[in-house]
Structure 1
Amino acid sequence: MDTTVADTLIGTTIDGRYRITGRVARGGMATVYTAVDDRLERTVALKIIHPSQATNVHFVDRFTDEAKTIARLTHPNVVAVYDQGRHQGLPYLVMEFVQGRTLRDLLTQRRRLNPVEALAILEQMLAAIAAAHRAGLVHRDVKPENVLVAEAPSGGIANLVDSVVKVADFGLARAVEASATDDTGQLMATVAYVAPELVTDGHADARTDVYSAGIVLFEMLTGRVPYDGDEPVEVAWQHVDNDVPPPSSIVKGLPTVLDDLVARATRRDPGARPTDAGALLAEVQVVRDDLGAANVETALLRQVPARPPAADATALVPTVTTVFPQGTHGSTRPTWARLPEQGARGHGQRRAGGPPSAAPVGGLIGKLGGDRRRILILAAVALMILTVIGSTWWVTLGRYTDAPQLVGGTRAQAEQAAASEGFELRVGDGAFSENVPKDVVLSQDPPASERVIKGGILTVSLSLGPERYPVPDIVGMEASAARGEIEGSKLKFKEGTGKYSDTVPQGVVISVDPKVAAQLKPGSTVTVVISKGRAPITVPDFKGKNINDARGQAQQLGLSVVEQYTDSDQPADQVIEQSPKPGTGAEKDDEIKLKVSKGPPLVNVPDVNNQPCPQAQQTLQAQNLRARLDFNPNGTVRIQNPAPGTQVPPQTEVVLTCA
């Protein structure tokens, strides 16, 4: 996306909801904007893929699928994905907006970080990546640009040890990896952090992210990446051919434990590295505690006098304060910055169950003579050993407990179980399940029986029940719009046999099967019947015609006649009704139903002989017959024709001979 297009997006509203307010950054694959979600009234980050990538169908499909997967990944160190869609054909993501700076910005400003800060940031990075690894995802593009360091609510970056770190771009990195090379054949990856196996055979797994995290740690400690070159491919192959140098070879005085940690994470053989981010995270935590123990030893030895005092003097060994690497201040992490992995770890606090962080070595030491210096050193070393043992116990056992079993219970049961054991419960995004009822705990993080920090956070995912989608009401829609509605409802569109219609225009949906609002599984097929417009034959008006004439006319048009005879006061063989109505469209061989008169019912001629002629005339008229009086109209009926009892049609004339 060029600058002109990007600038025109500012101030526009996407999908009737996301109002773009500014541009944050432009990368190789997408541009990131700040936007306001007008529906929820919150600031979000909106990432729009460049047009050059939108033409790659494989990239777009993988990008969309991974966005849906990452949206279900709930972790405090992962930048959340809220929504995805398309704007003018370009895929976009709506993500959590993190107020702060990238790790790249921090390194540009400060060049490098001290070991305590670097390890604090790395711990949270690895916690996020480990959550993805547990979900079966690999980031594939771990680098400082994808690591965000949040500001404190009051503004500004807090002490880096206390800052919240979030990792971004899981879905985009996976989509990019789906096409390992660009049109020029060059590797599409950030070569400064690329793992050797990704260069040689294009393979990536959890250990690939471990390697990249090791390179990021190297850069945080030294202020530079291990390899440089004029061409990207030259840098990439240096990862294959060379071992990453120890950070202490660049920055003198760095502890060897950091050299060892970088070396283990960046071994060229993937099998020699930690198996995933969770395994590397455990090693990082041990290194942080080792650095704390090293600081204790240094502080103790500084208290030993350079030379012994007079032989008759007595000496009081001063109080020794344990120095932990979590920070130089005594306050705990602020509430806005607390994370599950750090809920029980305070900065500068005493560790429960272990020895105190500040322990005086009581008592006075008498006259020591020439052995005094050696005794002081031994006492200091003994105290250091006790402190290290206590710290190790706390780090490995004391601060941990087993996560309770929450899966299978209701939300209320999970809240009760978590509270009874001192945990905080969070409800993450739900997931559909065919077997687990709605609102029952489907999964939990960490899993049951896993060792977790006391008082930490347990995140549960509740079942949404079976995944079902209603058939949308598309009757009356154009076929193209109907297809979009069906496929947007995670159902499959199938066009059935079209039908002619006098009322529904051509190309418009007449009916659907299953019916509108029926609940279907995702991927189920909906058969749509689309109008072919008006049929080619216009049905004529057969009413009032003789059946023979009507039959002949219908056959000439290619229509089939179905006749039904019925009593009627109309003449026999006359068409009195038809279906379909005149003017209706019909196809060849369509049936035309004609109702034909059998004629009026016959009348039984009454016996009027010997009745006065005027009276006889009235009797015949009452039976729907006509009377003709011959000779004497006022006489008596002597003869009638037809004879009494004869069946005749209505209005038949009966001749009466009167005398």
Structure 2
Amino acid sequence: MDTTVADALIGTTIDGRYRITGRVARGGMATVYTAVDDRLERTVALKIIHPSQATNVHFVDRFTEEAKTIARLTHPNVVAVYDQGRHQGLPYLVMEYVQGRTLRDLLTQRRRLNPVEALAILEQMLAAIAAAHRAGLVHRDVKPENVLVAEAPSGGIANLVDSVVKVADFGLARAVEASSSDDAGQLMATVAYVAPELVTDGHADARTDVYSAGIVLFEMLTGRVPYEDGEPVEVAWQHVDNDVPAPSSIVKGLPIVLDDLVTRATRRDAGARPTDAGAMLAEVQVVRDDLGAANVETALLRQVPARPVAGDATTLVPAVTTALPGDRPTWARLPEQAPRTRGQRRAGGPPVSGGTVVGTVGADRRRILILAAVVVMVLTVVGSTWWVTLGRYTDAPQLVNMSRAQAEQAAAKEGFELRIGTGAFSETVAKDIVLSQDPPPAEKIIKGGVVTVSLSLGPERYPVPDVVGLEAAAARGDIEATKLKFKQGTGKYSDSVPEGVVISTDPKAATELKPGATVTVVVSKGRAPITVPDFQGRNINEARAEAERLGLRVVEEYKDSDQPADQIIGQSPKPGSGAEQDDEIKLQVSKGPPAIAVPDLTNQLCPLAQQTVQGQNLRVRVDGNPNGVVVGQNPPPGTPVPPQSEVVLGCR
């Protein structure tokens, strides 16, 4: 049951009767839930279409009409429809709940089935589809996901030959005369199983289902579909352009009769296929007999050498009581499938028992020889059966939680072939450690068989893509393509980045995040509306007045400078930059040149004192004898004065 996402319908009672208990699956058109019918106290399956489909009047009408048609398909291999109605405007169906698994689940677990199991499942599938064909319906979507394998009354579905198979999801069914593409003119089918005529002209009839059933048989026998590489449209057209390969070309040793059956069912020319599922069912039953009764009996009879009997006496052939693959318990038998009686053979064959031995001389001896042959035959069959069912099998090794190198070494040591399957992310298991294996540990496997392991890819993390400089829409696409969430933060003005282009991201590019984590993107709003004036060289009072008139806030910073005091010597942002109301403008203001301390010139020769004053960036004036000695000065020594201030020297 899918419980990964909360579902508001779980716990809801539909139509005062059907109490939803869980979600089974969600498809392209509808969601299937388990529910309890409170009136009849039984578990049912409730299928309710998606809201996106409810607005399509043609789809809703077709959904309702087809539900009524399918409800009339009373057949043990068709999932029964019990009721239909609407919940909050959404049509729903109440169907039989089948306890078991889908054929897809079985193939995922076991990869492929043996021929007897595959034909046993196919026979019941075709019986269900044949019932639909007799009612004038084409299923259109025959695939393993729509085939349910129910548990046997004894519990479990280990014995597939005795399991009941039910075909589900006639949601794409069409009346034969109306079969075509959907309302939008698009192909409605699963491309791995689609018949060529559906791809080329959208036409479907009973032979379309026969083709899909043939593909399902191919997959059961080989563990894969014939075409799977490429885009869906390319896969669909491969059905048109190519013949389905023989299963034995993939799995060596499969009987040729199975190749012929698959080939007949999957002819590209619909006219060369069996006319409907009923016709194919008859062919499958013949093949089952060929694989089962004929092969077993032939193998046994080869153990009894033919002996001539005197006269025209009837020869008594020992009766083979081995259960034929077609025999099933009563609860699993198909409609009109009469149980075989002991000794009954396929039509046209000689009777197995019921003849009379004509007594002659040496009859006792012949009886002894026949009895001995039967004993040898039974021992041979028992030995062969033991080898086929038990002798050639062993337990699968325990490889889970090993590193890849350890798993390869362990598999090789026990004689198994190791294959590396599709990996999976794990928050708890380190990268390249075995997460799971097929078959599971201790399950039976042919000696020297293949064990497929799935390695951990480590924690699922995705790097934040570098989207700086991209348009916002393109950035969203890149981010969401890596399974991360896109969030557009508060925009910023920029003089260099055009409007609508990404300025920055939080977190930064290349940061690794879990799937579903949010990346906040800052997008440029373009150039700000106010152009910053050039304040440099102007008086601070003048600059302050103009900035306030524009709506800008002035922050003043005074610095020593050789420029006049209160003159602007620098600003940020630069002249010509964009700004918005109440933005801050930093202005650097000159404090004027630094003061100079007047040196002590007393008792110095007047010419030398003049040179000293001029070297301090001060002006000098001599009062008295210019060649005399300094006896006084103004300003006094140590007085700080601005540059180019005048110093008077008194000389004698």
TM-score, with structure 2 as normaliser:
0.49
TM-score, with structure 1 as normaliser:
0.49
